[in-house]
Chains A and B, each alone.
Chain A
Amino acid sequence: MLCEQANPQLIEYLANELPPEAQRQVHTHVQDCATCQSDLESIKQFHMMAENWQDEVVPNWDPNLVRTRQKTSADPIDFLRMWFPTAASAAALAMVTLIFFQMPATNNGTLPQQSTVAAQYNTLPQLPQATPAAQEAALVQSVMEGSREQRAEELQALLQILKAEMDRRSIETEESMRFIIANQLQGQQELDELYQQVEDIMTQSAGAKSAAEAVGSNTAPGSQ
């Protein structure tokens, strides 16, 4: 047996967990292999390490509290703390993207129509409210499945929350933009009106001036 074959089986060999034939082959190999003998000694030392561990005393507690403490799988605060940085980054990115795409290229004087995102938000289904039974089922599921599955579930929940948050932010952004544009238009309108008034005044003054000049020219010869 080659060293590459025997070495990965040393732990099982030491624990006598190999099939008899493999056990015999590894044994034969170890007799002649200094590397494997050294590794075998190391593994024995690790077993000694485990044996040297002296059990620490468990603090006093009442196991029956577990029966009454139906603790949820994750504290909502913990959940928020865990995902807050990611959620904040994603929401910020989403906001920038939405603002970029919803910003009117040119202001043609009309307010933008309500976006489809806003329309979807109006009909957005309510997020499912967690009932105690649902929480318990979720916990059971989370315990029995691997961490990868739980991460996937949490990501799904996070995506749902993020989607709702993005929609809410987009509504707020859109409302802000509509408010700003409306203000700008109103300001523009007021400026237009002022300009018109100034123009009217100037026209009137010009008319009055020309009329006065006309009157002056008509009366001048007579007066001479």
Chain B
Amino acid sequence: MLGQVTDERLVQRAIGGSSSAWHKLVKRYEKRVYNYALRMIGHPDDAFDLMQEVFIGVHKNLASFRGDAPFPAWLFRIASFRCTDYLRRRRVHEEFDEQKNAPHADPGPEEQTFNTHTNHKIVLALKTLPAEQREVVELKFFQNFTFDEIAGQLGISANTAKTRLYSALGKLKQHEELRDAL
């Protein structure tokens, strides 16, 4: 029976220089990474940039993928790191622009950039959370990782991940936008 080629096999072939294997690997995960970035950052252009940064990081580190953990867990470890770095850089840029009295680029009416009203509401709700809590909510509810996997991806303990998640849930429960979306 011909099944889908495993991630590990694609990684091995991509390391060996196969562009088609790399292409397949990216296509397999680009939607998941892009939507992750969209929920974390909230704007399509920035999310697209971040997605590309993630895959650049993945490509550069493919040789270090040992297969000890599933490929998605490894991929999202890089994605989490890149996202944290991206948000930190953006925050510094915003502070820098504020100091120069330069208005921050207006992303435009965000609602128009999402497929559905629900998506827009969800992004708005997630935006009310600090980045570290948003990250845990994303990895737990949208990516369905276990607390141990989340802990490994974020370099924190499982208990810390759990604490962040419950804090986030407490805030989200009071969020009107989210209640409307559910």
A: which residues have CB within 8 A of B?
8, 11-12, 15, 17, 39, 42-43, 45-50, 52-59, 61, 63-64, 66-67, 69-71, 74, 78, 81-82, 84-85, 136, 139-140, 143-144, 146-148, 150
Contacts and interface: CB of A to CB of B under 8 A. Distances in A.
Interface residues of B, number: 58
Interface in B55-101: 55-57, 59-61, 64, 78, 81-82, 84-85, 88-89, 92-93, 95-96, 99
Contacts of A148: 155
Contact of A8 (B34, B35, B166): B166
Given A53-B142, A55-B31, A143-B81, A46 B172 contact: yes
B160 interface: no
B129 interface: no
Contacts of A66: 22, 26, 52, 55-56, 59
Q: Is the interface of A mostly helix, strand, loop or mixed?
A: helix
Interface of B: 19, 22-23, 26-27, 30-31, 34-35, 38-39, 44, 48, 51-53, 55-57, 59-61, 64, 78, 81-82, 84-85, 88-89, 92-93, 95-96, 99, 114-116, 118-119, 122, 125, 137, 140-142, 146-147, 155, 162, 165-166, 169, 172-173, 178, 181-182
Contacts of B35: 53, 55-56
A69 to B, nearest CB: 7
A16 to B, nearest CB: 11
B44 A56 contact: yes
- Which of A84, A136, A144: most chain B CB closer than 10 A? A144
**10 tightest CB-CB pairs across the interface, nearest first?**
A63-B26, A50-B141, A146-B155, A58-B34, A82-B92, A143-B57, A50-B142, A147-B84, A45-B182, A66-B59
Nearest to A149: B155
A85 B99 CA distance: 9
A66 B59 CA distance: 7
Given A53-B142, A58-B51, 6 more contacts: A46-B172, A47-B141, A50-B141, A54-B115, A66-B55, A67-B22
Nearest to A45: B182
Nearest to A52: B118
A42 to B, nearest CB: 5
Given A71-B56, A82-B89, A56 B99 contact: no
A150 B88 CA distance: 12
B96 A82 contact: yes
Contacts of B96: 81-82, 84-85
Contacts of B26: 63, 66
Given A66-B56, A85-B99, A59 B48 contact: yes
A12 B149 CA distance: 13
Contacts of B141: 46-47, 49-50
Contacts of B85: 147, 150
A45 B172 CA distance: 11
B27 A63 contact: yes
A143 B181 contact: no
